[in-house]
Amino acid sequence: MTIYWSNYSVPLWFGFVQAWIFAFLFWKRGYQNNRLSDYLLGLVLVGMAFNIWEYMLGFSGIEILWRQLNFFPRSFGYAFAPLCYFYFKSQVDKDFRFSKSDIWYFLPFIIHTIYHVGVFSMGQDFVKTVEKNFHGPFYIPQIEMFTEIALNVFFIYKSFKLYNDYRNWTKTQFSDIESVSFKWFRNFLIVLVISFIVYLLKMVIDTIYDLDFKDDWWDNVVGITLIYYVSITGYSQVQPKTGLVFKEEDFKPENIQKEKFNESELETWKTKILKLMQDEKIYLQPELNLSDIANRLKTNISVLSGVVNNAFGKNFNDFVNEYRVREFQERIQLPENRNITLLGIALDCGFNSKATFNRSFKKFTGKAPKEFLEV
pLDDT tens by residue, the chain, 375 residues: 688 899 999 999 999 999 999 999 999 999 999 999 999 999 999 999 999 999 999 999 999 999 899 999 999 889 999 999 999 999 999 999 999 999 999 999 999 999 999 999 999 999 999 999 999 999 999 999 999 999 999 999 999 999 999 999 999 999 988 888 899 999 999 999 999 998 899 889 888 888 887 787 888 998 999 999 999 999 998 887 777 889 887 676 555 555 567 788 888 999 999 999 999 999 999 989 999 999 999 888 888 888 898 889 899 999 999 999 999 999 998 989 888 999 999 999 999 989 899 999 999 999 888 888 775
Closest CA to 188 of 327, 87, 54, 326: 87
226 C-beta neighbours (distance < 10 Å), count: 22
Domain covering 259-374 in this structure, CATH number: 1.10.10.60
* pLDDT at site 185: 94
* pLDDT at site 375: 59
* pLDDT at site 259: 55
Assign 47 to helix, strand or coil: helix
* pLDDT at site 13: 97
H or E element in which residue 201 lies: helix 183-209
Instruction: For residue 117, list its beta bridge partners.
Output: none
**Helix, strand, coil % in the chain, rounded to nearest 5:** 70, 0, 25
How big is the chain, counted in residues?
A: 375
Q: Give me the helix-helix angle, 290-297 and 301-312, nearest 10°.
A: 100
Q: Model's pTM, two decimal places? A: 0.89
Closest CA to 6 of 213, 200, 206, 245: 213
Cα 33 to its chain centre, rounded Å, is 19
